[in-house]
C-alpha cells in the first residue's frame, strides 16, 4: 500500500494481538497435551487398521455429492441424496447412532440405523472418529424433534483423521494457535471460515467494480532492482542467474505509472507487497494491496472512486452500510458523502490557531501538555522537526479520533514526494489520507507528472543516498505522463473494517508468527 505520509512515526506494538496468549503458555500446553495426543493417535491408527480389514480403505477418491447447504435448501422428505463432509459429533446409541456432518457449506445430521445398513457397514461405524471425512448415501428424513436428517443406506471412508480435533470441535481456545494452525481453526470455527469467504467476495467485487468502470487489471514485478513508491524497509534477495541483488517490492506504484506513460490510461493491480518492518494489529510484513491509477484524473477522481467502491462492497457483500467495528462497538456508516477536512484544520482545532507560527520548544511544551509522549527520533531528511512533531500530534491525538470515513487533505509536501503541490500553496500537496475507525485505509494523490519537479522532490527525500532514485522512472516521466489521480488501499485492512475485526491476523489466512 502506498503511504499517504511516507514515514513510519511509531514503533510497532507487540507481535501478538491482545487476545493472543503468550508463547510460553502455548509451549506449556503443547507439552502437557503431547502424551495424550500420542495416545489418541495410536487409537486412531488401530481404528484405521480395523476399517481396512472390514473393506473400508481409509483414504478414498472422488466422491460425487451435493453440498449440505443445497440439501437443506431443497429438502424433500424421502429424496435420495449423496453427501460428504467431516464428522463433528458422534452419538452412539446402540441400534441407532447419530452424527453431525460439516462440508464447509453447512451442517447436517446423519442417522445410522442397524436395520438400514448392512451388518458390516453398521459394525464398521464404531471405528469412526471425530474429524473423519466420510461420504454417505441415504434418504432425507425429519425426526420427531424436527431435525432434518439423512438416514444412511451406505457410507464410505474418504479420509481418516489421525489427530484428535480440539475440544470435540468446540474450537481452539488459544487465539495464537488459531493463527498458527489455521486449518484447524477453519475446520472448527464457522465464523472464521465465513469471514474468509467474505474476504474472497470482497476481492471479487473490487475487481468487478473497477472493470465495470473501464479499469484494466495488470501485473507488475514483485522482484525489483530497487524499492520505490513508498518509504519502507524492503526484503532483500539475490538473482543467481543474473548475479545481482534485488528487493521484494514495497509498492507497485512506479511501474504502474510507467504504464500510464505507455498509454494504458486506467489501470489497477491487486497483489502482494512486502515490508521488512514490524508487526502489530494492523500490519503484517506480507500484505495485499490494490493500487488504482486514472489518467486525466486527480485527487477528487480518487475520492469519487472510494465513495463509490465502499457502498458497493457494503451493498453487495456485507448487506449493510453500517458496520459495528472493534471491541468498542463503534458503528461506522459507509454511506457517502464522506467528510472532507484539511490536515491544518485538524491540527489547529486541537493545538490552537497559532500552532504553525510557534517555535519548536513552545510546540513541544504544548504537545506534552496535551499528552504527546514521544521517544521517536524527530529527524528525517528534508523534514523539519516542527513538521515531525506536528505529525506526531496528528498521529497520536487526532487520527485515532476520526471514526467515520474522513478524507484528510492538503498535507505538507515534505511527506509526499510523489504528489503534485496545491496550486494555491506550494508548501502543501494535493492529496488525501482516507481515515476510518481511527486508522488510515488509503491515500489518494494528484500525481506528480513533472519529471523535473519529481526529480527534485526525490533528491530532497533521498539526501545523500542518491542511488535510491529510480532513474528509469524519471526517464519514463520525461516521455510524458498525463495528469493522473492515484490511490492505494490495503485489502487486509479493508476486510478488517467491513467484517468488524480489529486485528489483521483475523483476516489473513496465514499471518507471520514468531517461531515456538
Same-domain status, 68 and 37: yes
Query: 449 to each of 151, 177, 256, 472, 485, how far by Cα in Å?
Result: 69, 48, 13, 14, 10
Whether 346 is in a domain gets the answer: no
Whether 430 is in a domain gets the answer: yes
CATH code for the domain in which residue 35 is found: 2.40.50.140
Instruction: State residue 134's pLDDT score.
Output: 98
Distance CA 41, CA 178 (A): 21
Same-domain status, 66 and 147: yes
Whether 174 is in a domain gets the answer: no
Same-domain status, 122 and 209: no
Say what the alpha-carbon torsion angle 215, 221, 226, 232 is, to the nearest 10 degrees: 60
Q: Are strands 322-325 and 148-159 parallel, antiparallel or unpaired?
A: unpaired
Whether 330 is in a domain gets the answer: yes
Stretch 48-76: mean pLDDT: 97
State the burial class of residue 372 (Cβ atoms within 10 Å of its Cβ: 0-12, 13-18, 19+). middle
Stretch 255-280: mean pLDDT: 96
Q: Residue 21: which of 177, 222, 225 has the closest Cα?
A: 177
Instruction: State residue 379's pLDDT score.
Output: 58
Same-domain status, 98 and 226: no
Same-domain status, 238 and 325: yes
Same-domain status, 223 and 138: no
Domain boundary among 168, 198, 216: 168
Same-domain status, 120 and 218: no
Stretch 316-344: mean pLDDT: 93
Question: Which string of DSSP letters, residue by residue, matches 260-292?
Answer: HHTT--EEEEEEEEE--S--BTTB-SEEEEEEE
Whether 416 is in a domain gets the answer: yes
Q: Are 262 and 236 a contacting pair, CB within 8 Å?
A: no
Same-domain status, 243 and 118: no
Instruction: State residue 116's pLDDT score.
Output: 96
Whether 131 is in a domain gets the answer: yes
Q: Are strands 266-274 and 216-217 parallel, antiparallel or unpaired?
A: parallel
Instruction: State residue 6's pLDDT score.
Output: 36
Q: Which cell numbers hold the place of 233?
A: 524497509
For 269-311, what is each residue's pLDDT tens digit?
999 999 999 898 889 999 999 999 999 999 999 999 999 999 9
Instruction: State residue 386's pLDDT score.
Output: 84
CATH code for the domain in which residue 443 is found: 3.30.930.10
The count of structural domains within the chain is 2
Domain boundary among 168, 200, 216: 168
Same-domain status, 268 and 416: yes
Percent of the chain with pLDDT over 70: 90
Same-domain status, 308 and 451: yes
Same-domain status, 288 and 217: yes
Q: Are 46 and 65 a contacting pair, CB within 8 Å?
A: no
Stretch 343-367: mean pLDDT: 95
Whether 360 is in a domain gets the answer: no
Stretch 234-254: mean pLDDT: 95
Domain boundary among 104, 135, 168: 168
Query: 81 or 6: which carries more pLDDT confidence?
Result: 81
Same-domain status, 314 and 452: yes
Full residue range of the structural domain in which residue 454 is found: 187-338+404-506
Whether 312 is in a domain gets the answer: yes
For 140-194, what is each residue's pLDDT tens digit?
999 999 999 999 999 999 999 998 887 644 555 578 888 888 998 898 888 999 9
Amino acid at each position: 500500500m502506498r503511504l499517504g505520509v511516507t514515514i513510519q512515526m511509531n514503533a510497532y506494538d507487540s507481535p501478538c494481538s491482545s487476545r493472543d496468549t503468550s508463547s510460553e503458555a502455548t509451549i506449556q500446553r503443547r507439552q502437557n497435551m503431547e502424551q495424550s495426543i500420542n495416545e489418541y493417535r495410536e487409537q486412531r491408527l488401530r481404528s484405521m487398521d480395523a476399517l481396512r480389514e472390514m473393506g473400508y480403505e481409509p483414504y478414498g477418491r472422488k466422491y460425487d455429492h451435493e453440498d449440505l447447504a443445497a440439501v437443506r435448501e431443497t429438502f424433500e422428505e424421502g429424496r435420495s441424496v449423496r453427501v460428504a463432509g467431516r464428522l463433528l459429533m458422534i452419538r452412539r446409541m446402540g441400534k441407532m447412532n447419530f452424527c453431525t456432518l460439516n462440508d464447509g457449506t453447512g451442517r447436517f445430521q446423519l442417522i445410522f440405523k442397524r436395520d438400514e445398513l448392512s451388518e458390516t457397514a453398521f459394525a464398521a461405524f464404531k471405528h469412526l472418529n471425530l474429524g473423519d471425512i466420510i461420504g454417505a448415501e441415504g434418504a432425507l428424513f425429519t425426526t420427531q424433534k424436527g431435525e432434518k436428517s439423512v438416514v444412511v443406506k451406505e457410507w464410505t471412508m474418504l479420509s481418516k483423521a489421525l489427530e484428535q480435533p480440539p475440544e470435540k470441535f468446540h474450537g481452539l481456545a488459544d487465539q495464537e494457535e488459531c493463527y498458527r494452525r489455521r486449518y484447524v481453526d477453519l475446520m472448527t470455527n464457522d465464523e472464521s471460515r465465513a469471514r474468509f469467504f467474505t474476504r474472497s467476495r470482497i476481492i471479487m467485487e473490487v475487481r468487478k467494480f473497477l472493470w465495470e468502470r473501464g479499469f484494466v487489471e495488470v501485473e507488475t514485478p514483485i522482484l525489483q532492482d530497487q524499492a520505490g513508491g513508498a518509504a519502507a524497509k524492503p526484503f532483500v534477495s539475490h538473482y543467481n542467474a543474473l548475479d545481482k541483488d534485488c528487493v521484494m517490492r514495497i509498492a507497485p506504484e512506479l511501474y504502474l505509472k510507467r504504464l500510464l506513460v505507455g498509454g494504458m490510461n486506467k489501470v489497477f493491480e491487486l497483489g502482494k507487497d512486502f515490508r521488512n518492518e514490524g508487526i502489530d494489529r494492523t500490519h503484517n510484513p506480507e500484505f495485499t494491496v490494490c493500487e488504482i491509477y486514472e489518467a486525466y484524473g486527480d485527487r477528487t477522481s480518487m475520492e469519487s472512486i472510494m465513495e463509490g467502491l465502499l457502498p458497493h462492497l457494503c451493498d453487495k457483500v456485507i448487506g449493510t452500510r453500517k458496520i459495528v467495528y472493534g471491541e468498542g462497538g463503534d458503528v461506522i456508516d459507509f454511506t457517502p458523502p464522506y467528510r472532507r477536512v484539511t490536515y491544518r484544520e485538524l491540527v489547529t482545532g486541537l493545538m490552537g490557531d497559532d500552532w504553525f507560527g510557534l517555535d519548536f520548544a513552545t510546540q513541544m511544551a504544548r504537545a506534552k501538555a496535551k499528552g504527546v509522549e514521544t521517544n521517536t527520533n524527530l529527524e528525517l531528511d528534508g523534514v523539519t522537526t516542527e513538521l515531525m512533531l506536528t505529525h506526531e500530534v496528528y498521529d497520536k491525538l487526532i487520527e485515532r479520533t476520526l471514526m467515520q470515513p474522513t478524507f484528510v487533505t492538503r498535507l505538507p509536501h515534505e511527506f509526499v514526494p510523489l504528489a503534485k503541490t496545491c496550486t494555491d500553496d506550494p508548501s502543501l500537496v494535493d492529496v488525501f489520507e482516507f481515515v476510518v475507525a481511527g486508522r488510515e485505509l488509503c491515500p489518494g494523490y494528484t500525481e506528480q507528472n513533472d519529471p523535473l519537479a519529481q526529480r527534485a522532490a526525490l533528491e530532497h527525500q533521498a539526501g545523500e543516498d542518491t542511488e535510491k532514485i529510480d532513474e528509469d522512472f524519471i526517464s519514463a516521466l520525461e516521455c510524458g505522463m498525463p495528469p493522473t489521480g492515484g490511490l492505494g488501499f490495503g485489502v487486509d485492512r479493508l476486510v478488517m473494517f467491513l467484517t468488524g475485526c480489529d486485528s489483521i491476523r483475523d483476516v489473513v489466512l496465514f499471518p507471520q508468527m514468531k517461531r515456538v
